[in-house]
Amino acid sequence: KLVLGIETSCDDTGAAVVDETGNVLGEALHSQTQVHLKTGGIVPPVAQQLHRENIQRVVEETLSASRVTPSDLSAIAATIKPGLALSLGVGLSFSLQLVNRFKKPFIPIHHMEAHALTIRLTNKVEFPFLVLLISGGHCLLALVQGVSDFLLLGKSLDIAPGDMLDKVARRLSLIKHPECSTMSGGKAIEHLAKEGNRFHFTINPPMQNAKNCDFSFTGLQHVTDKLITHKEKEEGIEKGQILSSAADIAAAVQHATACHLAKRTHRAILFCKQKNLLSPANAVLVVSGGVASNLYIRKALEIVANATQCTLLCPPPRLCTDNGIMIAWNGIERLRAGLGILHDVEDIRYEPKCPLGVDISREVA
């Protein structure tokens, strides 16, 4: 069995061919990150245009690297939800053209399901396992009980941690920092934080008394923003210049983010173990999404995992961010489970918003 996966939900045009055993026969990825860094955020029509310009080449490169032709494929899988409408549309219509032309079954993919299942491509992980997905657009904790069987334990009530770190990085003008100019906001914060002292400023993690597994990041953003304004006045510098205390601020906000993520994850593990949803002795905690490549945050989660007899697993960094491989692999998982394989694509539409699984976040208390 061979599946071609196509991803265009946000700002990466990705494709890959994966076989039943998880072998990646070929892949290609076109990232728009550098373009969006210059505009200080994703401009959807620009993302759409770049997907349009690149999708054909990305898919052709994938197929030729894989040494397969479309007729060799068992199915074509593509992200149809959630994501930016304009971006999703490009991948979906391109995929449906292939589906119709080569008469292949179509497997619609939920982007977050794909992120969650990626670990089963790289490691031998059985259901159930707990997953923490942290990226620029998402923040959720879910129990993965099967290929398409998710219990949503918690989610961000406002923005995602990557979005918050991107905003803080922008406010700190890290794009002008000689070492960070080509890095995403989150990566720039991590890089700078290494030279900073996290004890220099105190930024409290949010929701310390909330007895659930939800998250919040706008408070952190505003507190950090205020701190930056205060330091700008104190140092007598203009908005847009780099503060001498930028590294300390980066270290403090990164620490607060790590504490918040660790605390909520700890609660989720205890809840699942108490309800017998996870094995008491050898449960698995998977962390993925762009923010999961942050080693400081990972360390905090490792401490939580060790304290609760969990094994912490993270896909390699290139599989933590958006890519075609995870979509193709999700296609394989669905093919093997016989779930959601469409032979008639008439009614298929993309869905910019779509929650993952059954939301039980109110019961987690």
- Least spacing, CB of residue 2 vs Fe ion, in Å: 23
Number of residues that bind ligand ATP (CB under 6 A): 25
* Lookup result for tokens 């030279």: 195
| 290 binds ligand ATP per the rule CB under 6 A | yes
Length of the chain in residues, anyone? 365
- Least spacing, CB of residue 162 vs ligand ATP, in Å: 2
Contact segment (CB under 6 A) with ligand ATP among 63-71, 85-93, 129-137, 324-332 equals 129-137
Contact segment (CB under 6 A) with ligand ATP among 260-268, 284-292, 345-353, 356-364 equals 284-292
CB atoms within 10 A of CB 103: 10
| 9 binds ligand ATP per the rule CB under 6 A | yes
Q: What is the DSSP letter of 88?
A: H
| 8 binds ligand ATP per the rule CB under 6 A | no
Residues 167-171: contacts with CB within 8 Å, 24+ apart? Answer: 167/221, 168/221, 168/224, 168/225, 168/249, 168/250, 168/253, 170/40, 171/224, 171/225, 171/228
H or E element, residue 139? strand 139-146
| 291 binds ligand ATP per the rule CB under 6 A | yes
Q: Which is nearer to ligand ATP, 13 or 212 (CB)?
A: 13
Q: Which among 77, 71, 64, 61 is positioned nearest to 28, based on CA atoms?
A: 61
Positions in 131-160 near ligand ATP (CB under 6 A): 135-138
Among 27, 113, 214, 322, binds Fe ion (CB under 5 A): 322
The distance from CA 31 to its chain's CA centroid, rounded to whole angstroms, is 15
Q: Are 87 and 44 in contact (CB under 8 A)?
A: yes
Q: Are strands 310-313 and 24-31 parallel, antiparallel or unpaired?
A: unpaired
- Contact mark string toward ligand ATP, 163..202, x via CB under 6 A: x-xx-----------------xxxx--x------------
Structure tokens at 137: 């657009």
Among 2, 4, 10, 18, binds ligand ATP (CB under 6 A): 10
For binding to ligand ATP (CB under 6 A), which residues are involved?
9-11, 83, 111, 135-138, 162-163, 165-166, 184-187, 190, 289-291, 293-294, 321-322
For binding to Fe ion (CB under 5 A), which residues are involved?
322
